[in-house]
Structure 1
Amino acid sequence: MDLVITPTALDCFKEEWGFDEGEMIRIFVRYVSGGEVPFAFGIIRDTPHDVAVTRVAEHLTFYMEHKDVWFLEGKSLTIDCHGDGITFDLA
């Protein structure tokens, strides 16, 4: 299980979303529908409680808690930015 933050995503988090150095950014799994892919990733400023995965990139700390890593199941999550939006690629 790996968490990758691209340079383009870092620029977006800092310039478009207003995240500052030293902030903690939680990546979490949320239910979005009963369709073919009922779950998606969300992003929130938060204080860590039960960290499973951490990645520090350009003084921003991205993390996932144990309750959310089940969705990764040994895969790699790449967070990127295309256009005006953050994208999540699970491979």
Structure 2
Amino acid sequence: MDNGLFEYLAKRYVLEFTNNNVIKLMKVNPIEEKDVYIVWICKTLQNNKALLSTTLDDGMYYEVTYNGDKQELYFDAYEKVHNEAIPMIDKNTK
């Protein structure tokens, strides 16, 4: 799939999902396309994958994958349930 088309579709799915589900729970106004952004994107051979989020403070992030072999698009919605900073140990200090 063309990169531009994939990015467009990924953002549209996030926009539609958010406006049909998330904003009802948060009781806020619908978001616009400019409120959806791509965090990470990759194309390998005929496959595409993107991680996306929105400007809403809802802890949600989204994964959109295109399987070029099957010509199928997969959409996953996740909610962050835990975030922790883990300090790395400096090997030079004892």
Which structure shows the bigger proportion of residues in strand conformation? 1
Q: Which has the higher contact order (CA 8 A, sep 6+)?
A: 1
TM-score (norm 2): 0.31
Query: Which has the greater radius of gyration?
Result: 2
TM-score (norm 1): 0.32
Which structure shows the bigger proportion of residues in helix conformation? 2
